[in-house]
Amino acid sequence: MTILSELHQDHVNLSKLLVILRLKAQALREGSEPNFALIADVMDYITNYADGFHHPREDELNKYFMGRSDELDSQLKCCSEEHVALKIATEELKEAIDGVLHDTVRPMGEISDLLDEFISQQLSHLNTEEGMLFPLIESQATDNDWAIVNTLLPRQDDPLFGTKQAEKYTELYRELIIDMNNK
């Protein structure tokens, strides 16, 4: 599997979690109480895997392809800046969800707004990478580049979508299976 297809697979997986978050935000807006512990699991996974591994890998990739053209440079720079903003957004939402779990009083409308904002920020980032940045990188990269990048980028098992699921994500994994079977 090439690096770009690994990153693409992460995007597919992350999109599935964003669908779950969207359903939870909807439930919240309709006045029912979603499973906040499950939302916390999603946020924990995003903190660990997306912010802690997927984005740093992309940052390495971005660094490697810097300096080839102005157009590519500006997209690479923008992408890595978005990673910083996404990390802040994850922390903010994670804190808000932890607050709900620990009985901090906060209007539920605020939580659903935060969820909506987070989902659109993540989706817009994924779409930019998939629709603009990755195709541009692909058009400029050689086989030799991929061979080098392959040795530069760190590897790690995906604790939710990988071959071995981490025990802490058991419930979330089950929810994903139910969700997939419903479609």
Nearer to Fe ion, 36 or 53 (CB): 53
Q: How far is the CB of 180 from Fe ion (least distance, A)?
A: 22
Q: Does 44 bind Fe ion (CB under 5 A)?
A: no
Tokens 């629709």 correspond to 131
Q: How far is the CB of 20 from Fe ion (least distance, A)?
A: 18
Selected range binding Fe ion among 16-24, 39-47, 123-131, 132-140, rule: CB under 5 A:
123-131
Q: How far is the CB of 130 from Fe ion (least distance, A)?
A: 8
Q: How far is the CB of 128 from Fe ion (least distance, A)?
A: 8
Q: CA geometry: angle at 84 spanning 82 and 90, to 5°?
A: 100
The answer to whether the CB of 137 falls within 8 A of the CB of 72 is yes
Q: How far is the CB of 28 from Fe ion (least distance, A)?
A: 27
Nearer to Fe ion, 14 or 111 (CB): 14
Among 41, 51, 58, 158, binds Fe ion (CB under 5 A): 58
The answer to whether the CB of 150 falls within 8 A of the CB of 1 is no
Q: Kindly state the tokens that stand for 42.
A: 């999603």
The answer to whether the CB of 27 falls within 8 A of the CB of 48 is no
Residue nearest to Fe ion (CB): 58
What Å distances lie between residue 96 and 48, 83, 90, 92, 128, CA to CA? Answer: 17, 20, 10, 6, 27
Query: Which stretches of the chain bind Fe ion, using CB under 5 A?
Result: 58, 129
